Amino acid sequence: MISLETTFAPVLATGLTSYAWLIIAIPAISAAVLLLGGRLLDQVGHWLGVAAVTASFVIAATLFGYQLMSDESARAISVPLYTWIAAGTWKVTAGLLIDQLSILFALLITGVGALIHVYSVGYMAPDERRRRFFAYLNLFIAAMLTLVLADNYLVLFVGWEGVGLASYLLIGFWQHKPSAAAAAKKAFVMNRIGDLGLTMAVMSMLALFGSSSFAAVNAGAEHLDAFWVATIGLLLLLGACGKSAQVPLQAWLLDAMEGPTPVSALIHAATMVTAGVYLVVRSHAIFSISPVASTAVVVVGAVTLLVGAWIGTSKDDIKKVLAGSTMSQIGYMMLAAGLGPVGYAFAIFHLLTHGFFKANMFLGAGSVMHAMDDDVNMRHYGALAKVTRITFLTFGMGYLAIIGFPFFAGYFSKDHIIEAAFEVSTVAGIAALVGAGITAFYMTRLMLMTFFGEKRWREGVHPHESPLVMTVPLIVLAVFSIGAGALMNWWIQDWLEPAVGNHVHEISIVPGPIGWLTMLIVAAGIALGWYLFGRQPVPAEAPASRNPFTVAGRNDLFGDLVNDTLVVRPTMFASRGLVANDDKVIDGGVGGLATLTVGLSNQVRKLQTGQVRNYALTMTLGVVLVGVIVILSQLG
């Protein structure tokens, strides 16, 4: 359980820290300027976008430095912005909370965000709507920072909707492709379901605690009866599932790959999709006292990590493999967050390392696509290791990090989760272990099909390495893919303790029995990948397969079919019924009323010569009405 000794009330921001709101304001203003600026900014707009995010990063780093230097009790800073509504028992304030948890997110968002902005300068260079693209990216950064820095759920919700909007705009950025427009719409609709859960959770909090601030909810949660705790927890989980593409709301993420690749890297890998994990960890006071809710989180996490990995094994589209992998890795984080205090720090740890190595690999995939004339089919790749040297090397670092190769970033963060899972439940532990093996398999497959083997390039494609503006961010991210794990391993639990509750922990560099077992399974995954895809040439067209595993994987485990049968068709059916009802009953009613009114006024017009008499007549009828009501109210 959470012991309260190490929880400190946030201190009020003073001096420089009271300007912390600039971290959100700068990208927000930059987005507005870019949107309204018109064609004047077409030439320089993208650099303005880069500068805005960089400025936010500098602010985040300064705040982080400030926290590192101050005493543990003074690290959490609250920045009240203003009181929106204060009436009776309701008080809605807006403010920022910069604590040990949110600052890590702020650093990830602005740091990785800045790198991806730089990368996008090169990636989006041929696009004539590049200024608008950067405006949306800045909007996303501002909204995402609002989400993680909010000090209450209502402001968090504002950011939550903001990132949803930015994600919608960016997935559908290439509107001329019908598939992109459809994917944007799908993401929007599925996110709405999650948002409904979050809305209801926030409303319940307002009703039960009279406030939606984290402090009030944390303090009030333990006095709540089990039913309400579980209800709020499950509603929050529904919100988290929508945003983080967890089963059963996972289907939108694969389609979201229609967006430009930097968007996939920033929003659909490193930051936005992890908001669900943030939400669960932030609401630890609710989840840690409700076994129902936390078990649900574990189940969702475990199922998603297997489903995502499975999808990853059978896709030929390089971005969709990575998308499946993202789902799977977020499943790991969810699983960890559901384990209770033992797992919170590990969930965030994995979230951060994943942010680095997955952004690295997505940008790497973008670089490969750049080389291959925007072809995403891995069956048309092959032997790219020599042609795109830097991309290959940096991608390799990401590969080693995600499979958990010793001392790379993922090794530390994923192993902790697997070990913690075994501590809590053997089933969850086995799921995590199997997931690690499948991860190694599909990532090996991706590496082999892309960078090794025979050339299977289409005619007229001449691969080339990307420009420096794209490769430098890759190199920086590769460095973090190598070192981020070791850097944070002995530090992050202590650091996060005041924010997420403490737990006795031991960190040893020598793997335990489970660690060795994990390595064995990973090695088996790699070997299987090599056996199937490295030993023999890969066919340039996907072979027809009757293998049920492959068929299911290629079809996203029939996620769309399930949605279609269970939700879309019944809804369409009900909707058609309602339309019919609308046409016949309501339109009939309104239309009838209109006909009646027109008819009546025509009748009256025949009797009267001027309308003003009608009006006087209505008034007189009103007088009668007043009289009737007054008399009735006396009787009643």
Partner 1 sequence: MNITAPTFEWLELAPVLIVLTAAILGVVIEAAVPRAYRLVSQVGLMVVSLVAALAVLVENFVSQRSGTLVSASMVLDGPAYLAWAALLVFGLLSMLLFAERRLGNGSTAFAASAAAVPGSVSESEAAVAQHEHTEVFPLALFSLSGMLVFAAANDLLTAFVALEVMSLPLYLLSAMARRRRLLSQEAALKYFLLGALSSAFFLFGIALVYGYAGSFGFRDIATSIGAPVYGDGLLLTGMGFLAIGLLFKIGAVPFHNWVPDVYVGAPSPVTGFMAICTKFAAVMAVVRVFYVALGAERWSWQPLIAAIAVLTMVVGVVIAVAQTDIKRLLAYSSISHAGFILVAVVGASVGTAAGASSSLASIVFYLVAYGFATVASFAAVTMVRDAAGEVHSITGWSGLARRNPFLASVVALAMLSFAGIPLTGGFIGKWAVFTAAWRGGYSWLVAVAIVASVVAAYVYFKVIIAMFFGEPVAGVEVGKASGFTLVPLVVGAAATLYLGLFPGQLLDLATAVGTFLR
Q: Is 537 in the site for partner 1 (CB under 8 A)?
A: no
> Please, which residues bridge with residue 11 across strands?
77
Q: Is 629 in the site for partner 1 (CB under 8 A)?
A: yes
Q: Which is nearer to partner 1, 510 or 632 (CB)?
A: 632
**Which residue in 219, 461, 572, 621 binds partner 1 (CB under 8 A)?**
621
Q: Is 611 in the site for partner 1 (CB under 8 A)?
A: yes
Q: Which is nearer to partner 1, 22 or 619 (CB)?
A: 619
Count Cβ atoms below 10 Å from residue 66 Cβ, excluding itself: 18
Q: Is 615 in the site for partner 1 (CB under 8 A)?
A: yes
Q: Is 626 in the site for partner 1 (CB under 8 A)?
A: yes
Q: Which is nearer to partner 1, 544 or 607 (CB)?
A: 607
**Which residue in 427, 520, 566, 619 binds partner 1 (CB under 8 A)?**
619
Give CA angle at 399 (397, 400), nearest 5°. 65
CA distance 162 to 199: 14
The least CB distance from residue 474 to partner 1, in Å, is 39
Q: Which is nearer to partner 1, 69 or 612 (CB)?
A: 612
Closest among 421, 406, 416, 440 to 522, alpha carbons compared:
440
Going along 30-186, which residue ranges are E strands? 77-87, 90-98
Closest among 409, 269, 274 to 353, alpha carbons compared:
409
**Which residue in 303, 427, 594, 605 binds partner 1 (CB under 8 A)?**
594
Q: Is 609 in the site for partner 1 (CB under 8 A)?
A: no
Candidate ranges 84-92, 194-202, 329-337, 338-346; the one touching partner 1 (CB under 8 A): 84-92
Q: Is 596 in the site for partner 1 (CB under 8 A)?
A: no
SS3 7: coil
Build a one-symbol-per-residue string for 262-291: x at contacts with partner 1 by CB under 8 A, - elsewhere. ------------------------------
Q: Is 555 in the site for partner 1 (CB under 8 A)?
A: no
Q: Which is nearer to partner 1, 219 or 631 (CB)?
A: 631
Q: Is 634 in the site for partner 1 (CB under 8 A)?
A: yes
- Asked if 301 and 274 touch (Cβ cutoff 8 Å), the reply is no
Candidate ranges 170-178, 331-339, 467-475, 620-628; the one touching partner 1 (CB under 8 A): 620-628
Q: Is 585 in the site for partner 1 (CB under 8 A)?
A: no
The least CB distance from residue 91 to partner 1, in Å, is 10
The least CB distance from residue 621 to partner 1, in Å, is 6
The least CB distance from residue 592 to partner 1, in Å, is 13
Candidate ranges 76-84, 208-216, 268-276, 335-343; the one touching partner 1 (CB under 8 A): 76-84
Q: Which is nearer to partner 1, 69 or 85 (CB)?
A: 85
**Which residue in 12, 16, 578, 625 binds partner 1 (CB under 8 A)?**
625
Closest among 312, 308, 445 to 379, alpha carbons compared:
445
CA distance 92 to 499: 23
Helix, strand, coil in percent for the chain, rounding step 5: 75, 5, 20
The least CB distance from residue 552 to partner 1, in Å, is 42
CA distance 493 to 344: 9
Residues 3-62 that bind partner 1 (CB under 8 A): 36
CA distance 488 to 167: 30
SS3 127: coil
Q: Is 461 in the site for partner 1 (CB under 8 A)?
A: no
**Which residue in 9, 69, 510, 632 binds partner 1 (CB under 8 A)?**
632
Q: Is 87 in the site for partner 1 (CB under 8 A)?
A: yes
Q: Is 207 in the site for partner 1 (CB under 8 A)?
A: no
- Asked if 369 and 376 touch (Cβ cutoff 8 Å), the reply is yes
Q: Is 83 in the site for partner 1 (CB under 8 A)?
A: yes
Look at strands 77-87 and 11-12 and give their pairing: parallel
Candidate ranges 42-50, 83-91, 98-106, 388-396; the one touching partner 1 (CB under 8 A): 83-91
Closest among 60, 58, 41 to 133, alpha carbons compared:
41
Q: Is 586 in the site for partner 1 (CB under 8 A)?
A: no
- Asked if 463 and 388 touch (Cβ cutoff 8 Å), the reply is yes
Q: Is 524 in the site for partner 1 (CB under 8 A)?
A: no
Contacts of 357 (CB under 8 A, 6+ apart): 397, 398, 401, 402, 409, 410, 477, 480, 481
Candidate ranges 77-85, 235-243, 499-507, 510-518; the one touching partner 1 (CB under 8 A): 77-85
**Which residue in 406, 512, 599, 622 binds partner 1 (CB under 8 A)?**
622
CA distance readout (Å), 636 to 223, 625, 630, 631, 633: 45, 16, 10, 9, 5
CA distance readout (Å), 238 to 203, 241, 403: 14, 5, 29
Candidate ranges 19-27, 82-90, 433-441, 467-475; the one touching partner 1 (CB under 8 A): 82-90
Residues 141-170 that bind partner 1 (CB under 8 A): none
CA distance readout (Å), 507 to 18, 79, 111: 36, 34, 27
Q: How many residues bind partner 1 (CB under 8 A)?
A: 28
Q: Is 1 in the site for partner 1 (CB under 8 A)?
A: no
CA neighbours within 13 Å on the CB side: how many for 201? 33
SS3 315: coil
CA neighbours within 13 Å on the CB side: how many for 460? 3
Give me the residues that bind partner 1 (CB under 8 A), please.
36, 82-88, 594, 611-612, 614-616, 618-619, 621-623, 625-627, 629-630, 632-634, 636
